[in-house]
Structure 1
């Protein structure tokens, strides 16, 4: 199974945790997208991931007869027209830390937009993710902030370093790594190019990890660039059961293991 990555926007901004929690708090819900019927389960995991599992099918599709594989004869369809057999599955995961949306079926973006719009009564957009620093620089006007994990090494262990100061303040050993958020004050992109190149270089050498830069385009819409987002999809190896369905708990475990 393959998950494609996208960026999700709610009211032209990254989803707020309370918005996604509000959707999840509704528990299992049903939703009609034209003739498609969806049964939807949602949850918040580890205070970081928004998870959706959907079973769906065409609510109008029906035949009066079915084929019996054993007797090799036609029989009357035992399913009533008022019953819906959900034969399809959709898996959705949103990482609130990396601002990345994962979908195992990219054709269902329209459904997801409609569903979240109805649940939140807010504007919802799902856009292709930016996969190169150069494309990101061309798409934004200003840089808002950057978050990253700095890894301790010989070069940054001087007495004046943030690692040593943290150890002195709290009376602990110097941490192996620290997660930092830098407020860039909406600096114009032209003034931040060298800084972004520095982030890229330190990410490549392993000094910085999980670097995410947030900028704003000329329409005031936030865009993020994750330096690990060169990967456009994530593959997992999930097994189907005898009914050719995936175990949603197994899919959830496998995808979270890949994207944490």
Structure 2
């Protein structure tokens, strides 16, 4: 028997899905293959930077599990049906809400979801950290690399852009200016002479709103590796090298903080990740040692 885990979304989501597949391998003792969604096909698999030889599920394997779809519409309809009426396909598990599931029913072989829980990573942490390594030599002209290694560096991820779209605002809570002000002040009480390295798709907003709140003794540096072919991986690498991290409600900066191997790191995460009751599902997303503001 082989597990089949769907890959979809950006690099942060891909890392959670890949890790979940490795978790299944370890806990079930059978291999995991991966497959793409027809609804949201991945144009660029950034995960390939870390994992060169990903095993993919064949069309026949997916069809035999009742999960081989000929079109995005078919997948969308069947996915909703299987989530609502799971007896229609007892081989597929459709994740309804984020959160750790300690045990899956026997017979499940297809897994469709995000699997955003640090608890899936705990059983395979050593293997993951060994596998998800960055090769500094694969990057050229990496902005701020030397300074980040030298300073009491703190990454700060401020994601606006697509998060300002109405559909995303209905789902995700806003990481407000007040959140980032509180996070910077928290770090200033705990870290001597920190330097805040800002990763943002809205630099002007950060300069006009956040930076001016603090005196000139608080140092902000804006990181820009957008010209690089592997820009997302480069930014993730630099976040992981920072001594501490302030993250957005984004799986991308979540992974930047998790991959940070500093045993004394301070990680600050937003208390409100989603809007409404859905935010309760993040209890398994943020490790207990991280600070939520």
Category of TM-score, reference length = shorter chain: under 0.3
The normalised TM-score by structure 2 is 0.25
Q: Which has the higher strand share?
A: 1
Larger RCO of the pair (alpha carbons < 8 Å, separation 6+): 1
Q: Which has the higher helix share?
A: 2
The normalised TM-score by structure 1 is 0.27
| Greater C-alpha radius of gyration | 1
